[in-house]
Amino acid sequence: MYDEIITLLEEKQFNKARKEVLNYNEADIAEIIEDAIEEVSIEKAIILFRMLPKDISAEVFSFLSSDTKLEIINGITDKEIQYIVDELFFDDMIDLLEELPANVVKKILSRTEKEKRNLINQFLKYPVDSAGSLMTIEYVDLKKEMTVKESIEYLKEHGISKETIYTCYVMDSGRRLEGIVPLRQLIISEDDTVLKDIMDTDVISVNAFDDQEEIAKVFMKYDFIALPVVDKENRLVGIITIDDIVDVIEQENTEDFHRMAALMPSEKQYMGSSAFFLARQRIPWLLILMFSSIITGSIIGKFQLVLSQVIALVTFLPMVMGTGGNAGAQSSTLVIRGMAVGDIELSDILRVVWKEIKVSAIVGIFLSLFNFVRIYVVGGGSLLLAITVSLSLFLVVLSAKVIGGTLPIIAKKIGIDPAIMANPFIASLTDMISVTIYFILATILLGIG
């Protein structure tokens, strides 16, 4: 898509490349820089970045990935860093400072005016995934005695650099939040109307220490585009805007996808990660799950006698184990997702158990009958073997679905991320149960041992 610019960079035609690049939106320019790092070289990408007009460079910077941000910071002068930091919206600046090495942060802060420095230090103290770390201080604060005309005048004077002026916040002298006025309301009201007569006092706000996942749920529930953040005395400390929440939603989803595939969650992009990094992300869970499958193996070992007498038993083992794992994974995924979107609450656990029992009765009977017919009627296998396989399958599906449905809820109750209780983990648990049920039934029904 940006082939032409990439070619210009490869040919070191920086001025031409710069001219081409400026035809694009800042988000596109950020993408071009990322492409250039991957396809040309980091040095040339940085040269291109440094040639951008200053006001554009700061905005482009805010669209770059964390890795690229750090690379660029390492490749430009302190003065250029300072400029970017000053131009960024407050929330983007805090994000950047959180990721920079301590000595760089110190240098930047030493050049910042005292009042702003104190504010920055306060923001850096909020936990990484809290409302505090998401919010920005660029909002419009009005007083309830102001008229619509005065408010609009005030906006004209102060509003230009604000990240959002679409909701105005009305505060008392102690900075406690008293109400909100959507800009839409200001526009359609008469000039001499006083804010206190049009403001909405029924304000929904979040606390600066609330977790970002909970805040995303509030945004989704109420369809907000911005949300005020208050401290415990109900003083307004910042606002969160929907564009940052969209990022949070994608980030939380990625985290869940990773956890549910036995990966250590990471915000780093796949294409930009080294093989060692990716291997480190994968080995821990593979090891944990390996131990569990070693246990499954040793359970099978205990039944070697049955196995050696009816070697055909082993050919049905992948089916019984696999179906158990898949059945459990289905239930756990539905419950994990249901909790993530707010459909299932902790208190629903007994209702989930009952539902999973009913579902697994239907699924289990269907699959068992299917296999009975396949083994005994169509395949002409032994009746007792067919019963062993079908009955095991039914019991395995039942226990897998109940375990899959409840473990995520229990995990959440005791403070573990429910997403861990997904496919590989649930499947490795149900594997143990599957082989135990299967071989015990075989021992009894086939009369061996």
Residue 160 binding a copy of itself, by CB under 8 A: yes
Residue with tokens 């049920």: 437
Nearer Cβ to a copy of itself (318/447): 318
Residue with tokens 């005292």: 114
Nearer Cβ to a copy of itself (330/406): 330
Residue 315 binding a copy of itself, by CB under 8 A: yes
Residue 318 binding a copy of itself, by CB under 8 A: yes
Name 176's bridge partners.
Answer: 235
**Please, what is the minimum distance in Å from the beta carbon of residue 117 to a copy of itself?**
27
Map the footprint of a copy of itself across residues 286-305, applying CB under 8 A: 286-287, 289-290, 292-294, 296-298, 300-301, 304
Q: Which regions of 314-439 does DSSP assign to beta strands (E)?
A: none
Stretch that binds a copy of itself, among 41-49, 117-125, 245-253, 406-414 (CB under 8 A): 245-253
Residue of the chain from 57, 136, 323, 368 that contacts a copy of itself (CB under 8 A): 323
In degrees and rounded to multiples of 5, residue 128 shows phi and psi of: -55, -40
Residue of the chain from 104, 168, 206, 344 that contacts a copy of itself (CB under 8 A): 344
Q: Which residues of 276-314 are buried (b: 16+ CB within 10 A; e: fewer)?
A: eeeeebeeebeeebeebeeebeebbeebeebbeeeeebe
Nearer Cβ to a copy of itself (132/338): 338
Q: Which regions of 57-158 does DSSP assign to beta strands (E)?
A: 140-142
Residue 201 binding a copy of itself, by CB under 8 A: no
Residue 267 binding a copy of itself, by CB under 8 A: no
Stretch that binds a copy of itself, among 39-47, 79-87, 98-106, 149-157 (CB under 8 A): 149-157
Map the footprint of a copy of itself across residues 216-235, applying CB under 8 A: 219-225
Nearer Cβ to a copy of itself (143/282): 282
Residue 408 binding a copy of itself, by CB under 8 A: no
In this structure, are residues 56 and 25 in contact, taking their beta carbons and an 8 Å threshold?
A: no
**Please, what is the minimum distance in Å from the beta carbon of residue 370 to a copy of itself?**
8
Residue 378 binding a copy of itself, by CB under 8 A: no
Residue 373 binding a copy of itself, by CB under 8 A: no
Residue 136 binding a copy of itself, by CB under 8 A: no
Query: CA-to-CA distance for 400 and 367, rounded, in angstroms?
Result: 14
The mark string for 176-195 relative to a copy of itself (x by CB under 8 A, - otherwise) is -------xx--xx-------
Distances (CA, A) of 24 to 108, 316, 447: 30, 60, 76
Which residues, 6+ apart, have CB-to-CB distance to 202 below 8 Å?
none
Residue 307 binding a copy of itself, by CB under 8 A: yes
Nearer Cβ to a copy of itself (76/361): 361
Closest alpha carbon to 254 in 244, 243, 266: 266
Which residues, 6+ apart, have CB-to-CB distance to 409 below 8 Å?
335, 339, 344, 346, 348, 349, 352, 418
Residue of the chain from 4, 55, 99, 343 that contacts a copy of itself (CB under 8 A): 343
Per-residue DSSP letters for 42-106? HHHHHHHHHTS-HHHHHHHHHHS-HHHHHHHHHHS-HHHHHHHHHHS-HHHHHHHHHHS-HHHHH
